[in-house]
Amino acid sequence: MLGQHAEMRATIARATELIGRVRAGEPVRLALQETLGALADAAHAHNAREEELLRDIIPTVDAWGPARATVMDEQHTLEHQALHAALEAGVRDGDASCDAAEGLLARMLRHMEREEEAVLSEEVLRDDSVITHYFGG
Ligand SMILES: [Fe+2]
Ligand SMILES: [Fe+2]
């Protein structure tokens, strides 16, 4: 899961670079749309896996603390849906503003940071080989 986060961060970095070039007047808008499209696909697959994983594993772990509240939260799934809808809308709209795309990328980065903090700060998760395996892989 963290490996997928790393891949998404690389794609976000590429999109951020392209936003800068679009602003500078370079003809890279299509490349930006394609990059956002790739990010939408990667996030969709990742989020589906993440939701499935959390559903499967949480009932087997007794001692979840703050992580449980953070990652199990219905808000988490809603945030996935909101991010994905915004990303798809940005991809469809060839003239989507650079500001909007930039805000969305920042929101995705914050989402990943929050879930990494929640998961990695949880002792029980570090001690559990199954969860460590999933989130580390
Ligand atoms: Fe998430
Ligand atoms: Fe995630």
Tell me the per-residue pLDDT of 8-32, one tens digit each, with 9 for 90 and over. Answer: 999 999 999 999 999 999 999 999 9
Rounded distance from Cα 46 to ligand 2 centre (Å): 7
Average pLDDT, the chain: 80
Nearest bound ligand to the CA of residue 79: 1
How far away, in angstroms, is 38 Cα from ligand 1 center?
17
Q: What is the pLDDT of residue 114?
A: 84
pLDDT in tens, 26-35: 999 999 999 9
Mean pLDDT of 88-115: 85
| Cβ 117 vs Cβ 5: under 8 Å | no
Lowest mean pLDDT among 40-44, 72-76, 119-123: 119-123
Render 21-84 in DSSP notation, one character per residue.
Answer: HHHTT-S-HHHHHHHHHHHHHHHHHHHHHHHHHHHHHGGG-S---HHHHHHHSHHHHHHHHHHH
* 57-92 confidence digits (pLDDT tens): 665 555 555 555 555 667 788 889 998 888 888 777
Contact 8, 108 (CB under 8 A): yes
Ligand 2 center to 96 CA (angstroms): 25
For residue 33, the CA-to-ligand 2 centroid distance in Å is 22
Q: Where is pLDDT greater, at 113 or 136?
A: 113
**Ligand 2 centroid from CA 26, angstroms:** 32
| pTM for this model (two decimals) | 0.78
Give the C-alpha separation, 76 to 69, whole Å: 10
- Measured in Å, residue 34 CA sits from the centre of ligand 1 at 22
Check: CB of residue 108 under 8 Å from CB of residue 12. Answer: yes
pLDDT confidence of residue 124 = 43
* Nearest residue to 67 (alpha-carbon basis) of 104, 25, 120, 134: 120
> What is the whole-number distance in angstroms between the Cα of residue 98 and the centre of ligand 2?
24
Helix (H, G, I), strand (E, B) or coil at 128: coil
What is the model's pLDDT at position 129? 46
Q: Give Cα separations from 121 to 20, 89, 124 (angstroms).
A: 35, 34, 9
C-alpha–C-alpha distance, residues 67 and 125, integer Å? 9
